């Protein structure tokens, strides 16, 4: 993946081949600037690679129009953000319901029960009607995990999902993310600069860890 900087092309990612098995959990490790977020954006079709192909769930993303890529993400990809990205005026339940309105994956009559089920699985069944400002950081990220899983996506990507959390919460939230994705049979890609966290997940959750710095050059 090349960008231009100062009029010169700069290679951010140079990956000859990367295959991730369906239903597996993979950690992407690397320092800031090593291309972790760029790789996630290429895999999800937010960015188009300057060379090569990206095939997700049998679909070549480069063959899709921009609108079709947007629909693909809405229906088949869930995103867990570092800064939670919840909608402040909406309750936890409404935040999880929101992505269901952008995809035709969950029948209307089942959406509320699906959202309630997911919030229960991340231990927030008692906080359905609380807004983000009324939730702790850990609780907000639990809502983010439930929201990412709302449409039964085949792929979950999490970009530094524990970076905004207190140190004591990082392992708890990361392990919850992995376990819920496994229950949903969703493929999980977690990007993090926290090598100790990824080593912990590799040990207790059987996560494979890849070093993006080994196949990229800092931007």
Q: For residue 20, what is the domain's CATH number?
A: 3.40.50.300
Average pLDDT, the chain: 90
Domain that holds residue 20: 14-32+66-210
Question: 104 falls in which pLDDT band (50, 70, 90)?
Answer: confident
Confidence of residue 215 (pLDDT cuts 50, 70, 90): low
* 158-175 b/e (C-beta count within 10 Å ≥ 16 → b): bbbbbebbeeebbbebbb
**Number of separate domains in the chain:** 1
**Cα–Cα separations (whole angstroms), residue 13 to 3, 5, 7, 91, 160:** 10, 15, 18, 39, 18
Q: How many CB atoms lie within 10 A of CB 147?
A: 28
Q: Does 6 fall in a domain?
A: no
The predicted-structure confidence for 25-84, as pLDDT tens digits, reads as follows: 999 998 887 889 989 999 999 988 888 889 998 999 989 999 999 999 999 999 999 999
Q: Please, which pLDDT band fits residue 216 given cuts at 50, 70 and 90?
A: very low
Determine how β-strand 187-192 pairs with β-strand 25-29: parallel
Q: What is the pLDDT of residue 122?
A: 97
Tokens (6 digits) for 76: 């088949």
43 within domain boundaries? no
């Amino acid at each position: 993946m090349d960008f231009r900087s100062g009029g010169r092309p700069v290679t951010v990612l140079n990956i000859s081949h990367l295959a991730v098995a369906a239903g597996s959990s993979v950690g992407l490790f690397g320092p800031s600037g090593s291309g972790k977020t760029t790789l996630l954006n290429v895999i999800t079709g937010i960015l188009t690679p300057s060379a090569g192909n990206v095939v997700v769930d049998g679909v070549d993303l480069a063959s899709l129009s921009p609108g079709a890529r947007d629909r693909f993400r809405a229906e088949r990809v869930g995103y867990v953000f570092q800064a939670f990205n919840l909608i402040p005026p909406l309750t936890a339940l409404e935040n999880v319901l929101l992505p269901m309105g952008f995809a035709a994956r969950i029948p209307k009559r089942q959406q509320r029960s699906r959202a309630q089920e997911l919030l229960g699985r991340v231990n927030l069944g008692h906080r359905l009607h609380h807004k983000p400002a009324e939730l702790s950081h850990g609780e907000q990220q639990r809502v983010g995990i439930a929201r990412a899983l709302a449409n039964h996506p085949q792929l979950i990507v999490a970009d530094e999902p524990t970076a905004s959390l207190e140190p004591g919460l990082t392992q708890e939230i990361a392990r919850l993310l992995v376990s819920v994705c496994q229950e949903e049979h969703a493929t999980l890609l977690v990007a993090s600069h926290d090598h100790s966290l990824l080593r912990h997940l590799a040990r207790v959750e059987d996560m494979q860890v890849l070093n993006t710095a080994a196949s990229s050059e800092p931007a």
